[in-house]
Amino acid sequence: MSLFRVKYLSFFFIIISFFSFLNILYSYYFNLYLNLNNYYFSLVISGLIGFIFYKLKTSPKKPSIYEKILTVLLGYFLMPLILAVPLYLSVYNLSFLSAYFESVSGFTSTGFTIFENIKHIDQGLILWRSSIQWIGGLYFLYSIIFLIDIYDESLKKSLTNFLSFNTSETLKQSIKIFLLYSSLTIIIFIILNIFGIRSFNSLNLAMTIISSGGFLPVNNISSILIYNSQVIIFSLLMLVSFFSIFFTYNLIFLRNKNLNFFYEDIHLFLYLIAVVSIFFVFFSYDNNFIYSFLSLVSSISNMGISLDMTQSNLNFIYLILVIIGGSFFSTSSGLRFLKIYSLTKYSINQILSFSRPKNVFMNKLVFSKINFDTKDINKYFLTVLIFVISLFSLTIILSFNNLEFENAFKLAVLTLMNTVNSSAYGIAEFSFQNLHFLTKYFLILFMIIGRVELLTLLLITKKFIFKY
């Protein structure tokens, strides 16, 4: 176990055990005995693993980045195994592969579901699915801090306040992040309640929003969002997973305020305003703008939730927004807006430098003093290249599963970008349950790759390609 810092994972297994206990209490309180015993298994197993991991002795040496990345990857494969237990032992006759698929989908905040009719699932298991994605979103935020050493220098400046933490200080800050994440969830829950959404749905949607997940407590969100006011507030709340959560953390908990978070969110805000304005001017004349706004915000935050609609002309536009994504330091996925922005600006500057060789073009973020250098840009280009290769590979794999090439391509994008396959993307309805078992394995693998791409690819790039 020398390559794995499993003590880091023990905290999350305790969280799984805690949520198992909450599900037991919830099931008892509302007389939901159908799958009650299943949560005892997850309670005991996760608690035992968490205790063992915590007690294991680790090397006193500072862990290498390779030990850290292996630890994070272990968590993404191992924790969904435990989270899948209540799903597998449920009365719905799921194979363990299907249960594991559902668990990985939730933990990576993708939102693909094996269940074809959510109405047939008891409330306890629906709440468990939401808990899975909530824990996964929190794990992703902790992974950012745990793997801070692999960030580009220009991005690393945003987390300067985390760099000097010793072991005890890191624990304190981790608790603060947990409290902030939980508090934001509660706030979202209260707001949804105020706007007339019943408590059970509000709770599940709150956990979905904060984690940028895609699991819903119903088959279609239209049965929850009845009024335009509810659609608007739900759309605005999804922006929580679009902007940096660490910006809020920085404002609340840290004395020495780091403006780099603020600079990033300024760019994201301008990007949001630009996209919304374009949609309002060019697409609102023949579509319900409120519904389009929900799909738009859902796409840029990588949730993928949308109301029933037929907008074939916007399918690929939404997919592009999914690929661009949100903040580096949020629970959303995607290639990330600042990465696309940096690549675009650098490319334009390079073209201009050929026509005007005597001019000096600054590769700097607008409204800030942060520069992105050539080393970072090379990594960004490689990220895009690997994404294209992964997209092509997964598309071919899915095409062998009797999916039309267009649908296979769209589903591959959503898999790598950890976004649910809603009606906004024009994918023909099909059952994940009926997919070939090898296809399920590939989707599981690529869902995890899509979630940790930012955290692993840069390490691989630095070690094998860029020697510095």
Choose between 279 and 456: higher pLDDT.
279
Contacts (Cβ under 8 Å, ≥6 apart) of 374: none
- Residue at 364: amino acid letter: K
Q: Which domain holds residue 449?
A: 299-464
Please state the rounded mean pLDDT for residues 362-373: 58
Choose between 237 and 158: higher pLDDT.
237
**Total number of domains constituting the chain:** 1
165, pLDDT greater than 50: no
Res 312: pLDDT = 62
Q: What is the DSSP letter of 371?
A: B
- Residue at 196: amino acid letter: G
Question: What is the full DSSP assignment across 179-222?
Answer: HHHHHHHHHHHHHHHHTT--HHHHHHHHHHHHHT----SSS-GG
Number of H helices, E strands in the chain: 19, 0
230 domain residue, yes or no: no
Name residue 371's beta-bridge partners.
364
Res 149: pLDDT = 63
20, pLDDT greater than 60: yes
Please state the rounded mean pLDDT for residues 197-202: 95
pLDDT in tens, 272-303: 999 998 888 877 666 678 888 898 999 999 99
Range picked from 254-268, 292-306, 325-339 for highest mean pLDDT = 292-306
464, pLDDT greater than 90: no
> What is the distance between the alpha carbons of residues 110 and 310, in angstroms, rounded to a whole number?
22
> What is the distance between the alpha carbons of residues 140 and 223, in angstroms, rounded to a whole number?
30
272 domain residue, yes or no: no
Please state the rounded mean pLDDT for residues 375-395: 84
Contacts (Cβ under 8 Å, ≥6 apart) of 148: 156, 159, 162, 163
Q: Which tokens is 91 given? A: 């009365």
234 domain residue, yes or no: no
> What is the distance between the alpha carbons of residues 404 and 412, in angstroms, rounded to a whole number?
12
Mapped onto helix, strand or coil, the DSSP state of residue 420 is coil
Range picked from 147-161, 169-183, 324-338 for highest mean pLDDT = 324-338
Q: How confident is the model at residue 355 (pLDDT cuts 50, 70, 90)?
A: low
Mapped onto helix, strand or coil, the DSSP state of residue 245 is helix
Please state the rounded mean pLDDT for residues 372-382: 73
54, pLDDT greater than 60: yes
- Residue at 310: amino acid letter: T
30, pLDDT greater than 70: yes
422 domain residue, yes or no: yes
| pLDDT mean across residues, the chain | 83
Question: What is the full DSSP assignment across 256-306?
Answer: S--HHHHHHHHHHHHHHHHHHHHHHHHTTTSS-HHHHHHHHHHHHTT----
Res 33: pLDDT = 85
Question: What's the pTM value of the predicted model, to 2 decimals?
Answer: 0.90
Res 163: pLDDT = 47
339, pLDDT greater than 90: no
Question: What is the full DSSP assignment across 137-183?
Answer: HHHHHHHHHHTGGGS-HHHHGGGHHHHT--HHHHHHHHHHHHHHHHH
Positive or negative, the CA dihedral 203, 206, 207, 213 is positive
Q: How confident is the model at residue 32 (pLDDT cuts 50, 70, 90)?
A: confident
Choose between 28 and 377: higher pLDDT.
28
Please state the rounded mean pLDDT for residues 243-250: 76
Q: Which tokens is 28 given? A: 């008892």
C-alpha closest to that of 20 among 76, 109, 82: 82
Name the packing angle between helices 96-107 and 65-83 (round to 10°): 130
Q: What is the DSSP letter of 408?
A: H
Res 367: pLDDT = 52
Please state the rounded mean pLDDT for residues 366-373: 59
411 domain residue, yes or no: yes
Res 340: pLDDT = 85
243 domain residue, yes or no: no
For the chain, what percent of residues have pLDDT higher than 90? 43
Res 419: pLDDT = 94
Q: How confident is the model at residue 327 (pLDDT cuts 50, 70, 90)?
A: confident
At residue 125's C-alpha, the angle toward residues 122 and 131, to 5°, is 145
Cα-atom radius of gyration of the chain, to the nearest Å? 22
Q: How many CB atoms lie within 10 A of CB 360?
A: 7
Res 256: pLDDT = 59
At residue 271's C-alpha, the angle toward residues 367 and 329, to 5°, is 75
Among 2-11, 129-138, 162-171, 185-194, whose mean pLDDT is lowest? 162-171
Among 124-138, 270-284, 389-403, whose mean pLDDT is lowest? 270-284
> What is the distance between the alpha carbons of residues 39 and 20, in angstroms, rounded to a whole number?
5
Please state the rounded mean pLDDT for residues 247-275: 73
Res 189: pLDDT = 97
Res 307: pLDDT = 82
pLDDT in tens, 98-112: 999 999 999 999 999
> What is the distance between the alpha carbons of residues 271 and 244, in angstroms, rounded to a whole number?
14
Res 82: pLDDT = 95
Choose between 464 and 11: higher pLDDT.
11
349 domain residue, yes or no: yes
159 domain residue, yes or no: no
206, pLDDT greater than 90: yes
Res 468: pLDDT = 44
